[in-house]
Structure 1
Amino acid sequence: MKNMDEIIEEMNLEASLSLGEIPDLNLYMDQVIQLFEKKFSGTKRTDDEKVLTKTMINNYAKGKLFFPIKNKKYSKDHLMLISMIYQMKGALSINDVKMTLEQLNSRMIDGDFDLSRLYSSQLHLTELNRERFKESVQGHGEEVSKEVSKLNDQDEEYLEQLLMVAAMSEMSNFYRRAAERIVDEIAENNKG
C-alpha cells in the first residue's frame, strides 16, 4: 500500500473556494462552472469526472437548494452556497442538503443574513478538519498494520488496503449517520 502521506497528498485536501477567490461580480453559469472546475479539478477521481455541470446547477435551482438567481447570473452569495452544497452532497442526499440550507436560504431572501461570515467559519472548520483527518488516517494506518501483522499472511499489502478501506468506509458512515441525525433534528425544529 502507498504511504498514507502520499495518498493524502493526492487527495488535494487544500482545495476550497476562499472568499477572496469569489468575484464580487455576478457570474453566468458557464463562468461558475469554470471557477469550480479550476478550483476543484484536483479532487476528481478521474479526468472524465465533472466537478459541476449545468444540469447539477439547474437541479439545485429547481430543487430550491439556493435562493433564486437574477438575470441568469449568480452572486457571490450563490457561489458560497454552491460551494457548501458541493461539500455536503458527497455525504448527504440532495433532500438532506436542501433541508439543511432551507432556513439559511429563507434568511438570505429576507436579506437579514451575512453569508460571508458563516462561510468564513465553515472554511476555518475545514482547515481544522484537514488536520484532524490527516492525524486520524495516520492512526488508522498504524492500527491496520498491527492487525495485519497478527495475521501472518503473505499478502499483507492487499490485506492492509482492504482493512483501510473498511475502516475509512466505516468512519465515513459514522459521520454521515451523525450528520443525518442533525438534519432530522433541523427538520423537526422546522415543523414547530
Structure 2
Amino acid sequence: MNNIDKFLDDLGLNDYLKLEDIPEIDLYMDQVIQLFEKKYAKTKRDSKDKILTKTMINNYAKGRLFFPIKNKKYSKEHLLLISFIYQLKGTITISDIKVALEKLNKKVVNENFALDDLYEAHTNLILEQDERFKKEFKVKAGEVTEAAEKIVDPDSDYIKQLLMILSLSHMSSLYQRAAEKLIDQFRQEGEEN
C-alpha cells in the first residue's frame, strides 16, 4: 500500500445515507433501491454487486426486520431501519439483526419513537469512527511494516499486505464477537420477559 490516503478514500468511508438524503414522502421499492444504490455505490467491492434488491427487501419484510409497510410504500422510518440492516448485515446474521432491531421496531410503531434522533446520533458516531479508523489504519500499517521487516522474503510487499489482511480480519472478528455478545444479552432479556 503505497498511497494509504487514496486507499482509505477508495473505501467510501464517508458514503452513507444521511437524514437529509431521505425524502419526506414515502417511496416505492424501486425508489428505495435507487436511493441506496446511489448512496452506497462506492462501498461496492465489485461494480456488478447490488447494494439492495427487491428480494432482500422482501426477505427483510417477511423476516419482520422492520414493521409492515403501507400501500407498497416505504416511509422515512423504513429507510432508516433498512439502512441499519444494510450496515449490520456485513458482520452479523439476519437472525441477530432481527433480535437487535425488534424492540426498536416496537418503539417506532407503539411509542412514536423519534427514529431520526437515533439515526442522527448513529451518523455522528460514524463520522467520529471513520476518522479514528483512518488514524488507526495508518498506525497499523506502520506496525505491519515493522513486523514484516523482521521476515526475510524477497516478496515483502505481499508479506506486508498479508499481515495487514490478517490483522484487520482479527480486529473485525473482535468487534463482531463483541456485537454478538451484546445481541445475546438482548435475547436473554427477551427470554426473561
CA distance in 1, matches of 2:104, 2:61: 15
- Structure 2 unaligned regions, length at least 5: none
Map 1:82-97; keep pairs closer than 5 Å. Answer: 82-97=82-97
Match of 1:68 in 2: 68
What residue number does 1:59 align with? 59
For residues 151-173 of structure 1, give each alpha carbon's deviation from its aligned partner in whole angstroms, at most 9, with x where no partner exists. Answer: 13211100000000000000000
Residue 47 of structure 1, CA deviation: 0.9
User: Residue 150 of structure 1: SS of its match in structure 2?
Assistant: coil
Alpha-carbon distance in 2 for matches of 1:51, 1:97: 17
Q: Could you say which structure has the greater relative contact order, defined with CA pairs below 8 angstroms and 6 or more residues apart? A: 1
> What's the C-alpha RMSD, in Å, of the aligned pairs?
0.9
1:152 is aligned to 152
Q: What TM-score does the superposition give when structure 2 sets the normalisation length? A: 0.97
Question: Counterparts of 1:136-175 in structure 2 under 5 Å?
Answer: 136-175=136-175
One-letter code aligned to 1:179: A
How many Å separate the matches in 2 of 1:129 and 1:87?
Answer: 14
Equivalent position of 1:122 in the other structure: 122
Paired position in structure 2 for 1:108: 108
Question: How much does 1:109 deviate?
Answer: 1.7
Name 1:36's counterpart in structure 2: 36
Q: Deviations over 1:64-123 (max 9, x none)?
A: 000000000000000000011110110000001110000001111213311000000000
Question: Within 2, Cα distance between the matches of 1:61 and 1:19?
Answer: 22
Deviation at 1:139, TM superposition (A): 1.1
Distance 2:98 2:172 in 1: 21
Alignment correspondent of 2:22: 22
Query: Partner residue of 2:134?
Result: 134
Gaps of 5+ in 1: none
Report sequence identity in percent: 49
Q: Could you tell me how far apart the structure 2 residues matched to 1:59 and 1:4 are?
A: 38
Task: Please report how far the alpha carbon of residue 4 of structure 1 lies from its aligned counterpart in structure 2 after TM superposition.
Answer: 2.2
Q: Give 1:103's aligned amino acid.
A: K
Q: Give me the whole-angstrom Cα distance separating, in 2, the residues matched to 1:65 and 1:2.
A: 42
**Deviations 1:19-61, CA, capped at 9 Å, x for gaps:** 1110000000000000000110111011110010000000000
Alignment match, 2:77? 77
Q: Could you tell me how far apart the structure 1 residues matched to 2:103 and 2:9 are?
A: 36
Give the letter for the 1:63 counterpart: G
TM-score, normalised with respect to structure 1? 0.98
For residues 138 and 185 of structure 1, the distance between their equivalents in structure 2, rounded to whole angstroms, comes to 34
